[in-house]
Chain A
Amino acid sequence: MIDGEKVRERISTFLHLSPGRAVDGAALTDLVTESFVLVQLVIDLQEDFGIRLDGEDLRDVRTVGDLIAIVVSRGSPQS
């Protein structure tokens, strides 16, 4: 099982966010200056948590909470 708070911590570290900014409702597009940083973040999370994501998984991801949820779901035994 992947711990959602570990994912939040990783997002925060990767994006150099100040404490408290990586809240569930934060829009990812407000936290990054360009879309390629999001690509790097998504690849970093896959590498860090040993999971695989594809475009379909990310189609409806808009916020930090959405991203954490998809990473956690990919790390669960059922996925």
Chain B
Amino acid sequence: MIHDDELWILSFYRRSEISGALFFGRLAQTIRAGPIQHDLTKHFSDESMHAWYWTDCIEKLGAKPIQVDHSYQDQYLEAAGLPVNIMEILAITQVFERRVIGQYALHRALPGLPAEVEATLNRIMQDEKWHIEWVRDALVSLEPEYGAEHIARTIERYAAADRQVYERTLDEHSGRLKELIARSRRRGPR
């Protein structure tokens, strides 16, 4: 049976993937046909699948997802402000995807992870690599319209908001994270 702190974190991942899917789904519905719409729609589909993977993973560990009130993205948009054009959407996505892949990599490095969690992290991280690539390429394609410097400044603005939210999240949940790490160490490598 999974410990409460681990269940909370996996449920938080699930909630954040759902938020991502809703965000990209609504944008995919709004923007017009073209390469960005194509990839954004695939991204929406991936995020939905990730939410399903976490749901399935939690159930395989003998638990049920718990309700988590706020996703990482909710806090993010509050700190950074709502994006108002497609470049800003992609810039915030790039920063967010880097954070996700970093967080999942940290989690995967913990010793003694349950096999289901490790498999889910591996599965999702494959998709995350593509997410970073397509968003990076799309931002390059927008350089003639928005300017490379303006895009770089926008990414930096969102990265600053991301650091602020991540630090706050770590502070708020430091007890849970410490417990997760301690339990992993006690379990040791599989």
Contact = CB atoms under 8 A, between A and B. Distances in A.
A53 B89 CA distance: 13
Contact of A47 (B23, B32, B81): B32
Q: Which of B30, B32, B88 has the most CB of A within 10 A?
A: B30
Classify chain B's interface size. Answer: 10 to 19
A54 B84 contact: yes
B114 interface: no
- Binding site secondary structure of chain A: helix
A43 B23 CA distance: 13
B82 A52 contact: no
B115 interface: no
Contacts of B105: none
Interface in A24-79: 35-36, 38-40, 42-44, 46-47, 52-55, 57-58
Contacts of A38: 82
Contacts of A35: 82
A58 B30 contact: no
Interface in B117-137: none
Interface string B71-115: 000000000011111101100000000000000000000000000
Contacts of A52: 85, 145-146
B145 A39 contact: no
B168 interface: no
Contact of A40 (B26, B81, B146): B26
Interface in B8-39: 23, 26-27, 29-32
A70 to B, nearest CB: 11
B31 A43 contact: yes
A43 B31 CA distance: 7
A40 B26 CA distance: 8
A66 to B, nearest CB: 14
Given A42-B85, A55-B88, 10 more contacts: A39-B82, A40-B26, A43-B27, A43-B30, A43-B85, A44-B30, A47-B32, A52-B146, A55-B84, A58-B84
16 contacts: A39-B82, A39-B83, A40-B27, A40-B29, A42-B85, A43-B27, A43-B31, A43-B86, A43-B89, A44-B30, A47-B31, A53-B84, A54-B84, A54-B88, A57-B84, A58-B84
